[in-house]
Structure 1
């Protein structure tokens, strides 16, 4: 590790490459749940396969994204950045890709645009704040996580003075306090809020009658949109998609960025954090659902993120920092957002009305995977990157270290 703190915004290619693995594990779960391939999904083989790839696999990828968001937002702060410029950059990073993905889905399915509850909350990225909107207004299912990301982005300038006042020597206790808060929150949901309490995998494919593949994935079928309300268990809603419940994960990432930048986190051996993450993930099979989705994984995930960053700063190269993985990491957000519309399109054009075995599912999952990469690359290179280059250029790098310090709260951002 360098003797002096790195300049703000120092490149961390391994973190970019690692984003791809998180997006890929989410895709695997979504391919099992959102590709309606019958009679395969009604077979014992499917049940056995889905037991190996349960809901917490996709949830682990989302937790990685949330922790990484906090790390990157704090790490990329630069002296002189205005609140207006910060918000513009954040909105341009997520909103165009979100809108494109939603439009693709609307063109493919029979979404009743005359019912604003179906699409307006999703378009505004507020649909996870109200239980009734969480699934009915979901439209593009993965977009639920953007509601949480939007809250993270909005809160950061407000919380920055508080984060900056944490002394360097108190970073570890502050991070531990957030992890305890997460556990207390989920314990409260488990004990006092209605919802499933067992250890079973409740996030599974919603199966329809018959052995012929349906024309629509159920979440975008006309019957789904016609419902007046779609109940969601209160504990699941409050513990998983509700944005405020995920806020501590973001700030664990923020504190991890401070630890790395200020030399508190110096570990560059990836084996130990990965082993901790594997053990925590294994434990999710044996705990109630309120703990499966993120509570056990936040700490080990933050350790992996911090270690990858420390390795980058120490000049330790690895597969995540390779050019192909960095490119895949660059397009990973678009890949995450477009995968569900692609699966819906593949279902409409090729799967619906036919019978498919496990081989058929594997084939169409592969087609969806390749098509999602191609579509994501087109969105990233054709829309995302040009917009960011044109309208969200960062100010020139100030080589003076501007990350939060105990004796020097960040004033550049709060004065604007």
Structure 2
């Protein structure tokens, strides 16, 4: 018998078919991440003039900079790794895993893209602005026409596709990490992310200042335009303008975001193996707030995820530990779980809805801050309703009909549905 201690042996995977407990708090928390993205998008993608040209808007945008939405995306990337590990029991079918991911990702993505194409009158003869986006390969190309050519929020799905492709391939290596060494790997990945972004900052061209420079692309005049610039014909006709290299590498490039996913995977192991016992969510939230405030004083390479990733891992792991301990809370309520379930569709449909509201109600008129608040509230209500329709009439029926049932090992208990599922 080997003299290796139990604490340092590679993780022994559970039996095939053995389900893990549901984590409703992680499902509910998804809504808050999607809502953070919405708040930023409502501020910069609703072209309400002259409000967006006012000093009040400038001050408001200082309080709600781009990293608010980026924090929501970072949460989703970490959560993806956590839940994919939590729900993928060793011995599961890898082809079925891929099929379920495709079925979960693409139909909702294509539905939202179709709404955007109609709302923005996208010129389909310029395939470069829509085909890469539909296929979710657009973030591999550092050109604005391609990266932002169609439904803007879909950029993060290009990274998710890479995550899902890599997970079954790298899972055997993840399982070989000794349980006692998990914390070393977490620390190593966090350090690697900081080094990676430092290399991007020092070695590639791009913005070097600390200002929160992201803002709407304004057009002349005091009347609100009928299309936000990312949805205008001028945007679709533009040449292949390069994205600043350092910015593209640190934010959009899928390989740069891959460590965030695998930090979520390692967090899943920490919780599953009882090495994460913290159930008081206040400490991770305080750490997240401090990291978020620190983004005001660092270059853009560090604003979008590098400073936020550690506290975000702690938030995800603690929410899961709370569910396992029966602590639950607001995020585990039935209402919040429902909002969490529709959050993927909400994340994708919000920009097409804003394009429609701009075209029908905002364009050609003038509004102040109250007008913006009203249109933001309308966008929130309409996006939530549209997301509910997509989830209940497209996503759920397709998953029930075509995703397939998990094969249950003889004598194993019936699978418990894991609520914190992800696209």
Q: Does 1:27 align with 2:38?
A: yes
| Alignment partner, residue 64 of structure 1 | 75
CA contact (8 A) 2:94 2:168 kept: yes
Helix, strand or coil at the partner of 2:163: helix
- In structure 1, which of residues 34, 53, 57 is the aligned counterpart of residue 64 of structure 2? 53
The structure-2 alpha-carbon separation of the partners of 1:386 and 1:72, relative to structure 1 and needing over 3 Å to count, comes to same
Asked if structure 1 preserves the Cα contact closer than 8 Å seen for 2:142 and 2:248, the reply is: yes
Q: Secondary structure at the match of 2:252?
A: coil
The residue aligned with 1:112 is: 123
TM-score normalised by L of structure 2: 0.92
| Equivalent residue runs for 1:6-405 within 5 Å | 8-132=19-143, 135=146, 138-396=149-407
1:245-296 alpha-carbon deviations (Å, 9 max, x no partner) = 0000000000000000011111111111111111111111111111000001
Distance 1:353 1:54 in 2: 27
Contact 1:189 1:235 in 2 (8 A): yes
**Alpha-carbon shift at residue 9 of structure 1 (Å):** 3.4
Query: 2:91 & 2:179 partners in 1: Cα distance?
Result: 23
d(CA) in 2 for partners of 1:285, 1:397: 50
Q: How far is 1:138 from its partner?
A: 3.0
Superposed displacement of residue 83, structure 1? 1.1
| Distance in 2 separating the partners of 1:388 and 1:371 | 24
Quick one: distance in 1 between partners of 2:170 and 2:117? 37
**Partners of 1:194 and 1:365 in 2: CA distance:** 35
- 1:8 positional shift: 3.5
Q: What is the CA distance between 1:134 and its match in structure 2?
A: 6.1
The alpha-carbon deviation at position 237 of structure 1 amounts to: 0.3
Q: Secondary structure at the match of 1:128?
A: helix
Runs of 4+ in structure 1 deviating by more than 6 angstroms, as ranges, are: none
> Contact 1:265 / 1:310 at 8 angstroms: preserved in 2?
yes
Uncovered stretches (5+) of structure 2, i.e. residues with no partner: 1-13, 416-423
Deviation (angstroms), 1:192: 1.0
Q: Aligned-residue CA RMSD in angstroms? A: 1.7
Q: Distance in 1 between matches of 2:350 and 2:273?
A: 38
> Alpha-carbon deviation of 1:10?
1.6
Measure how far apart 1:63 and its partner are: 0.1
CA distance in 2, matches of 1:181, 1:277: 19
